[in-house]
Amino acid sequence: MATIKQIRCIHTRRNGSWTIVKVMTDQDGLYGIGSASDLYNPEAVVQVIEQLIAPLLVGKDADRIEDIWQTLHLSGYWRHGSIQQTAIGAIDMALWDIKGKEAGKPVYQLLGGACRSAVPCYGHAGGKDLSMLVEEVHRYLEEGYTVVRCQLGAYGGGGFREDLTNRPEGSWTNGPVFDEQTYLNAIPAMFEQLRLKFGPEIQFTHDVHEHLNPITAIQLAKRLEPYHLFFLEDALPPDQLGWYRQLRQQCTTPQAVGELFTNPQEYVPLIQERMIDFIRVRVSKAGGISACRKIATLGETFGVRTAWQEGGENDPVNQAAAVHLDMAIWNFGIQEINHFTEEEQEVFPGCIERKGGYLYVSEKPGLGIDIDEDKAALLLEADWNKSKYHRPYPLDRKADGTIVRP
């Protein structure tokens, strides 16, 4: 039996936003890694791991994954916060990595074995205008993707207005402002042109990123019905999940939800009442492989598929954990893609490999991915200082100054 000897946090990426946990055991050369990355509060996660979790786990049997998960779940008394869930998720991934190495098998084999030969993924196409977007979609199709997310620029793109005529005196912003009606008109028009250009066979998704009030979100979903989206993502914010009942009654546009979820009380009713079609929690934010396997099982019971969230700030270790789950889950739907530079991939030997529109796991034991700590340190910017890190989420506003909820 391997015993946990030490738990370390390793910072990397240029801005230091990636945090990788390394769980060391008393057996020579046996360790596991997990993703503890949080773009907005990286040091808060580290403090939870170093001050709360590490003292609890040193000396414990690394094989007791479920018992350790339950222990950590209750260790801070208050539960399901994003910081604590990320810390738990990191440890959980690392313990599964260790168990796979002990067994000499990749993690997906320990989860029941392969349900598919590879993992379909979708690309992110965007452009400031339709012509740029069409060019991006063409590029992804040429690379072999069959599902493409389409956005007019950043989140809310198509709904931003530069003109100053609709702003009050003393406006709180001089930059672009978000206008719901403009967005409500632009996105269906965008998909109308995309269908005319690419036909009915290509699968499209779109991310609303919770920018709309509930009734406008329902109107958008209804207006998108003729374009047969693969899914519409996060039409409503976590604050207004009850509106998914009305949305489901009004239209058949498939709904993907959960990027901001950390608490099971958010996603359980949506799944049980069949109000959504895809659950999109991030593996690390939901509490790791152990938690997400249970979420997937619940989804299978009620006909809801998985579409684990990645995001541009996510790291290769979380991606590896997600793809191992994808391989072993029957009700898998689609996997969001994340792209890493060659320099970043060199830090993580064994990165998930993409060929065309599919992702392939390494057949090495565990998660099949490692971290080169020397290269990880070199990847950091020379003047990086964790005490000066400050990156709050950038918020959009309406013309009158009202904050738009992400």
C-alpha pair distances (Å), 318 with each of 13, 108, 159, 351, 370: 14, 14, 32, 10, 12
Pinpoint the alpha helices (H) of 76-213: 82-103, 107-110, 130-143, 180-198
Nearest to 40 by CA among 260, 256, 209, 234: 260
Report the C-alpha gap between 259 and 286 in whole angstroms.
Answer: 10
Say if CB 307 and CB 279 are below 8 A apart: yes
295, amino acid identity: I
Measure CA of the first residue to CA of the last residue in the chain; give whole Å.
45
17, amino acid identity: S
Please indicate whether residue 11 is annotated as part of the active site. no
Question: Could you tell me how far CA 110 lies from the centroid of its own chain?
Answer: 23
Please indicate whether residue 209 is annotated as part of the active site. yes
From the list 108, 155, 183, 267, the catalytic residue is 155
From the list 11, 124, 206, 209, the catalytic residue is 209
Tokens encoding 385: 């200082």
The catalytic residues are 155, 209
